[in-house]
Structure 1
């Protein structure tokens, strides 16, 4: 996977060097040539780079555009078209989003600029996060409970999820526990995101619920996420909450997936809490996977 990510970076640079650098890169086609999937590629890139691949491309494009402006490009429209924008206005918005200044000012004064260096991925397996991992095959099942749309937050407790859980009556938690009839057992925290490399702040679906076998009768007032049969990588971790869980999530991308013959497949992530206090948690992180 590390070699694939570096090949993608090279492809992005080649695209920026083309006569028409604004053309989109076919990530799905590239992933197929590297015997992986676009979904897994996007997830791994975002986890390791700290940004979606689309954001990296935008930053690199605007870094190149800034160099053109500083070196004395004849006019803004020429630079805009060269970097894939049909108007000075659209180019200006993208430029300001990266550099926090207008292209005309950079052309006059040479800055200030926020450049994005070319990324280079390297594998460093440090074993900082002890990971107890089990691969489990599960039949089709349903996740049922109470769903809400919340913003994605990478670090710290998500207050929107906290408020959602707090709004549920105590008897509702008991009703959900009684419905649970298959693994992963018990109350679950389910995150179902719209994109594999969603940026922080992107809306995702959070479901507070349980797993039931396919065909189980579900009350009409509950939300349902249907899951097909497939394999799951189950990571077990224990430590300070929520830091340990968030570090474990990052370690799956930096340490486990690059050195194991599995890749992520589309589907939600599931957290099953075995023990939980305000400051400590023992939990399982369930990620949908398939053979690489």
Structure 2
């Protein structure tokens, strides 16, 4: 996967060099690199600390800044060269990256926030083993109570906590009676996720269970086709231990395994919870396919 990401960066750089105004076709880059757009975006964002789209934007504006400092073309000429129809639109995009206007840079030479070219390297530590299994499930339904929430990377997501707290205990007991397949128990399901996993972007969160039966009326349903899953077991402080393993799947597990993410919901099954001690045993289910 590290080699694939570096090939993708080379493709981005080549496209920006040949035509800085052109749309960077991530799907084409992914196919040329031998992976999928979904997996490429998720791995890039996890390892680079920014979405691929943000990296492209910063690199484009870094090149534009160099032209403003070193060339004598008008601001409008530079704006058009980089895909903007007016100096105002170009100025907004430029300021969002550099914190100053194109005119300030042309006059003073800076300050600039230059985005260097990213190069990915794999550091193998292996000090913390990951408890993982691969399993294949038939088509299932995830049923329960769903809502839209913003993505939160660290700590408790208050929007999810409020949603779960609003569901009556009797409703959760009713849901448990419908569970007849893995993943077992009451689930936290994240679906319709932004491929870049941008913090604050919205996704669908469902508090529910997995079933193969037709659900009762009044419940939200996510249909999940048959497929393969990587299941990661976590134990410890909650939700910190779960979030650390979630991040480590991208930084440690996927780069060293012949699997890649495929589109689909990401599921957390809570097997045991000690609310007083704030600890839990969980299973993180990620949809995968052979890489």
Give TM-score, length-normalised by structure 1.
0.95
Residue number in structure 2 paired with 1:230 = 227
1:251 maps onto 2:227 in alignment: no
Counterpart of 2:126 in 1: which secondary structure?
A: coil
1:103 maps onto 2:130 in alignment: no
Q: Output aligned runs, 1:1-292, within 5 Å.
A: 1-18=1-18, 20-213=19-212, 216-278=213-275, 279-292=278-291
Contact 1:177 1:186 in 2 (8 A): yes
Distance 1:123 1:68, change over 3 A: same
Contact 1:28 1:38 in 2 (8 A): yes
Contact 2:8 2:33 in 1 (8 A): no
Gaps of 5+ in 2: none
Distance in 2 of aligned mates of 1:128 and 1:58: 36
**Once the 2 structures are TM-superposed, how far is the Cα of residue 141 of structure 1 from its aligned partner?**
0.2
Distance in 2 of aligned mates of 1:123 and 1:193: 29
Counterpart of 2:24 in 1: which secondary structure?
A: coil
**Once the 2 structures are TM-superposed, how far is the Cα of residue 34 of structure 1 from its aligned partner?**
2.6
Gaps of 5+ in 1: none
Distance 1:280 1:112, change over 3 A: same
**Once the 2 structures are TM-superposed, how far is the Cα of residue 120 of structure 1 from its aligned partner?**
0.4
> Cα deviation per residue 1:226-269 (whole Å; 9 max; x = unaligned)?
00000000011111111111110111111111111111110010
Distance in 1 of aligned mates of 2:218 and 2:171: 11
**Once the 2 structures are TM-superposed, how far is the Cα of residue 274 of structure 1 from its aligned partner?**
1.1
Contact 1:186 1:210 in 2 (8 A): yes
Distance in 2 of aligned mates of 1:107 and 1:276: 59
Counterpart of 2:206 in 1: which secondary structure?
A: strand
Distance in 2 of aligned mates of 1:198 and 1:256: 18
Distance in 1 of aligned mates of 2:241 and 2:102: 43
Distance 1:48 1:115, change over 3 A: same
Contact 1:142 1:226 in 2 (8 A): yes
**Once the 2 structures are TM-superposed, how far is the Cα of residue 291 of structure 1 from its aligned partner?**
0.8
| Stretch moving more, 245-254 or 78-87 | 78-87
Q: CA RMSD in A?
A: 1.4
| Stretch moving more, 172-181 or 271-280 | 271-280
**Once the 2 structures are TM-superposed, how far is the Cα of residue 29 of structure 1 from its aligned partner?**
2.4
**Once the 2 structures are TM-superposed, how far is the Cα of residue 31 of structure 1 from its aligned partner?**
2.0
> Cα deviation per residue 1:157-208 (whole Å; 9 max; x = unaligned)?
1000000011111111111111111110110000013431131110100000
| Aligned residue pairs, count | 289
Contact 2:149 2:204 in 1 (8 A): yes
